[in-house]
Chains A and B, each alone.
Chain A
Amino acid sequence: MSRTAIPVRTADRPLPRPPLKKRAQAFGLWLLTFLLMVIMCVPGLWVVLSAFRPNREILAKPPIWVPETLTLNNFAKIFGIGQDQVAIPVLAYFSNSLIIALTSTVIALIIGMSGGYAFARYRFRFKGGIFLGLMLFRAVPGIALSLPIFMVWSRLGLIDAKLGLIIVYISLNVPFTIWLIDGFFRQIPMSLSEAAQVDGCTRWQAFWKIEFPLARSGIAAAGVFAFLTSWNEYALASQLTRSTDSKTLPVGLMDFTAQFTIDWAGMCAMAVIIIVPALIMTFLVQKHLIAGLTFGGVKG
């Protein structure tokens, strides 16, 4: 769209646009973008900034805009370092979150790779129906699913156990992982693996030597998506966990809210702890993430 300088057009209209109008337009565009970015970034940045400020400053009236003191106390406090300890076992939550998210991601990836390969490479009966069915199962609201799972898990002794949450998250992630990985395998020409098979590889070998390395970055992107889903999930986790044995970070965040008081500084610090791993993960694979979402969906 920015390529307006087609010769025909300038020949038709001898007068070029007045530069002032063009400059005003460019400025308007810039201003709009700037405002947009402010709305996108300021909420998150304000939380991050507040994580390094004492509660006294956050609560100050009239407000203190420029931080007078920056401190790591909030973090020290929630990790239980220093004099006044807050009984929120963030380390335990963190390791629970990590174990649950990583395990469920790895298993969902294995299941998803096998399923995605089936969708990308084979024709079989009810293919479209099975695919749609998987998607529809994913659409079940977390809170609606939590009711029966809560009832079943409490009979199986899986309430307040990491395993219980891992199983749920695997099923949460499998459909979307299949969708993404299916898209990535489709982009790899079938002739590559066929050539390898002509040269004497089995299909299994051809998969690991040709198709898997080519789809690797896409699979990593699918993995990050699965990880983020598990890492950020709240509705199911809040009902299926009880104690430090299995509580995850998002559930732990709610520990800071009592009936009438909220420890804003502590919550902000905790928010930073939740967001940083997610941030790192996303930036590592962002390019593949977008490619995977779009081409998995559009190119049938």
Chain B
Amino acid sequence: MIAFLRTRRTALIPLLLLSPALLTMLFVVALPLGFSFYTSLTAYRLVRPETIEIFVGLRNYIRLLEDWEFWRVFGRTILFLAIALNVEFLLGLGIALLIAKITWGQRTLRTIMMFPMMFSPILVGFQFKFIFNDNIGILNNALQSLGLTDRAIPWLVDGRLAMFSIIFAEVWMSTSVFAILLLAGLFAMPRDPLEAAKVDGCNSWQVFRHITLPFIMPFAFIAMTIRSLDVARAYDIVHVMTGGGPAGRTELLWTLIARTGYMDARMGQANAMAYLSTLLSIAFTWYFYTKLMQARRYMGGVQ
């Protein structure tokens, strides 16, 4: 009997230790999300509070499905994420390989690389708004002073260039997450397989492809998981740099939610969008987390 009680007690301890975390998440995230879902089924408008009781079923979602503007923004968001994450991964990998090769000043380089990580996204946005400004920005000033162009390039005024500038800012902010983690992976890599492969006559591409890359992939997945947790930070950058303009050409899902919810005060509709964006983020995180777990099991099997 006593033994039974003791096992019961030890089973309770972890739950007890976890309960503050679980309660916080329940009250500050789960319950509001539930409320958000309910609101997405109503015709709630901020300016008329009583509208929260008007139940409209799935009408907000159906309206979204039929709304071409929404799907264009949705597609742009996916494209934005695909481009940004891939560029960040490749650049990060390149930087990590580069720094691993350098023997002198490695620590300093690594420290400098952490620089963008501590920037608030709103600051990154402001910084690049300042740099890409067509009139006083350092980029146009430099291009004009060097005689590369005689007119000001409208970086943030032209739709395509504005999207490019935003992706540039996003990549600047987040590449270091990949670089730092991949570099840590390179440092943690055992030397023996590399040298064995070289003795066996592998060229450096083969060594990279079959030994280095598989070893550092788990580190890439950590970086991807961390990144997928906060992809929506791009909201801050877009909000400062272009505000979704010109003419909605840089509108992403998150800025559209803010516009619909707070500017147009159509809370019901905004919540429906927010729900879709939440599912999108969760799918991203889930996917990379599963990948990470697989890679971890694989590494555990090898060691």
Q: Which residues of A contact B (CB under 8 A)?
A: 1-3, 6, 8-9, 29, 32-33, 36-37, 39-44, 46-47, 50, 58-59, 61-63, 65, 110-112, 114-115, 117-119, 122, 124, 128, 130, 132-145, 147-149, 151-152, 167-168, 170-171, 174-176, 178, 228, 231-235, 239, 250, 253-254, 264, 267-268, 271, 274-275, 278-279, 281-283, 286, 289-291, 293-294, 297-298, 300
A149 to B235, CA, bound (A): 18
The reply to whether A274 and B120 contact each other, CB–CB distance below 8 Å, is: yes
Select A138's contact among B101, B229, B261, beta carbons within 8 Å: B229
The reply to whether A298 and B172 contact each other, CB–CB distance below 8 Å, is: no
The reply to whether A170 and B17 contact each other, CB–CB distance below 8 Å, is: no
Chain B residues with CB below 8 A from A1, complex form: 100-101, 194, 204
The reply to whether A40 and B112 contact each other, CB–CB distance below 8 Å, is: yes
Q: How far is the CB of B267 from chain A (nearest CB, A)?
A: 7
Q: Assuming A46-B138, A167-B28, what are 15 further A-B pairs, CB within 8 angstroms? A: A40-B112, A40-B116, A118-B13, A118-B14, A118-B17, A138-B285, A139-B282, A151-B35, A176-B229, A250-B122, A282-B114, A294-B219, A297-B225, A298-B188, A298-B299
Q: How far is the CB of A281 from chain B (nearest CB, A)?
A: 8
Interface residues as binary, B287-298 with A (CB distance below 8 Å gives 1, 0 otherwise)? 001001100110
The reply to whether B127 and A43 contact each other, CB–CB distance below 8 Å, is: yes
Chain B residues with CB below 8 A from A36, complex form: 95, 98
A124 to B188, CA, bound (A): 31
Chain A residues with CB below 8 A from B55, complex form: none
The reply to whether A29 and B24 contact each other, CB–CB distance below 8 Å, is: no
| Stretch among B56-64, B65-73, B153-161, B177-185 lining the A interface | B177-185
The reply to whether B232 and A142 contact each other, CB–CB distance below 8 Å, is: yes
Select A144's contact among B99, B112, B232, beta carbons within 8 Å: B232
A298 to B291, CA, bound (A): 12
A61 to B95, CA, bound (A): 36
The reply to whether A282 and B118 contact each other, CB–CB distance below 8 Å, is: yes
| B111 at interface, CB cutoff 8 A | yes
A254 to B101, CA, bound (A): 42
In the assembled complex, 18 residue pairs joining A and B whose CB atoms fall closer than 8 Å, in A order, are A40-B113, A40-B116, A47-B127, A63-B138, A111-B20, A122-B14, A137-B29, A141-B232, A141-B277, A147-B267, A148-B39, A152-B31, A171-B25, A171-B29, A174-B24, A234-B239, A282-B114, A294-B184
The reply to whether B267 and A234 contact each other, CB–CB distance below 8 Å, is: no
Select A228's contact among B102, B118, B138, B181, beta carbons within 8 Å: B118
Q: Tell me whether chain A's interface is mostly helix, strand or loop, or mixed.
A: helix
| B203 at interface, CB cutoff 8 A | no
The reply to whether B28 and A170 contact each other, CB–CB distance below 8 Å, is: yes
| B254 at interface, CB cutoff 8 A | yes
Chain B residues with CB below 8 A from A61, complex form: 135-136
The reply to whether B236 and A264 contact each other, CB–CB distance below 8 Å, is: no
Chain B residues with CB below 8 A from A6, complex form: 195, 198-199
Known A-B contacts A33-B102, A144-B278, A297-B218; the reply to A41 vs B115 at CB < 8 A is yes
Q: How far is the CB of A278 from chain B (nearest CB, A)?
A: 4
Known A-B contacts A234-B236, A253-B122, A294-B185; the reply to A174 vs B25 at CB < 8 A is yes
The reply to whether B282 and A140 contact each other, CB–CB distance below 8 Å, is: yes
| B126 at interface, CB cutoff 8 A | yes
The reply to whether A271 and B126 contact each other, CB–CB distance below 8 Å, is: yes
Known A-B contacts A231-B120, A297-B222; the reply to A114 vs B18 at CB < 8 A is yes
The reply to whether A39 and B172 contact each other, CB–CB distance below 8 Å, is: yes
Select A271's contact among B10, B15, B25, B123, beta carbons within 8 Å: B123
| B117 at interface, CB cutoff 8 A | yes
The reply to whether A147 and B257 contact each other, CB–CB distance below 8 Å, is: yes
Select A297's contact among B113, B229, B292, beta carbons within 8 Å: B292
Listed residue (B102, B138, B184) with the most chain A CB atoms within 10 angstroms of its CB = B138
The reply to whether B228 and A139 contact each other, CB–CB distance below 8 Å, is: yes
The reply to whether A279 and B123 contact each other, CB–CB distance below 8 Å, is: no
Select A41's contact among B100, B112, B126, B299, beta carbons within 8 Å: B112
Select B123's contact among A175, A178, A274, beta carbons within 8 Å: A274
Q: How far is the CB of A53 from chain B (nearest CB, A)?
A: 12
Interface residues as binary, B162-182 with A (CB distance below 8 Å gives 1, 0 otherwise)? 000000000010001000110
Known A-B contacts A29-B101, A136-B282, A250-B120; the reply to A143 vs B235 at CB < 8 A is yes
Q: How far is the CB of B51 from chain A (nearest CB, A)?
A: 12
| B258 at interface, CB cutoff 8 A | yes
The reply to whether B21 and A178 contact each other, CB–CB distance below 8 Å, is: yes
Select A149's contact among B32, B95, B181, B257, beta carbons within 8 Å: B32
Give the nearest-CB partner of B236 in chain A.
A234
A248 to B30, CA, bound (A): 25
A250 to B121, CA, bound (A): 9
Chain A residues with CB below 8 A from B101, complex form: 1-2, 29
Q: How far is the CB of A28 from chain B (nearest CB, A)?
A: 11
The reply to whether B232 and A114 contact each other, CB–CB distance below 8 Å, is: no
Q: How far is the CB of A227 from chain B (nearest CB, A)?
A: 10
The reply to whether B35 and A235 contact each other, CB–CB distance below 8 Å, is: no
The reply to whether B226 and A63 contact each other, CB–CB distance below 8 Å, is: no
Q: Kindly identify, within residues 269 to 286 of chain B, every residue whose CB is under 8 Å from any CB belonging to chain A.
A: 270-271, 274-275, 277-278, 281-282, 284-286
Q: Kindly identify, within residues 136 to 154 of chain B, every residue whose CB is under 8 Å from any CB belonging to chain A.
A: 136, 138, 141, 145
Chain A residues with CB below 8 A from B204, complex form: 1
Chain B residues with CB below 8 A from A279, complex form: 118
The reply to whether A144 and B275 contact each other, CB–CB distance below 8 Å, is: yes
The reply to whether B257 and A144 contact each other, CB–CB distance below 8 Å, is: yes
Chain B residues with CB below 8 A from A142, complex form: 232-233, 235
Chain A residues with CB below 8 A from B233, complex form: 142, 235
